[in-house]
Structure 1
Amino acid sequence: METLLLNERETPKGQLVSVCDADVLGEEFENDEVSLTVDPEFYDGDPADEGTVVQSLANCTVANLVGTSAVALAVEHGFIEEENVLDLGGTRHAQLLWL
Structure 2
Amino acid sequence: MTYERTLISSGSVYEPVVGYSRAVRAGDFVFIAGTTAGAPEGAIGGTDPAAQTREIFKRIALALEQAGATFGDVVRTRIYLTNIADFDAVGKVHGEFFG
Tell me the TM-score range normalised by the shorter chain: under 0.3
Which structure has greater helix proportion? 2
- The normalised TM-score by structure 1 is 0.28
- The normalised TM-score by structure 2 is 0.28
Relative contact order, higher structure (CA 8 A, sep 6+): 1
The structure with the largest alpha-carbon Rg is 2
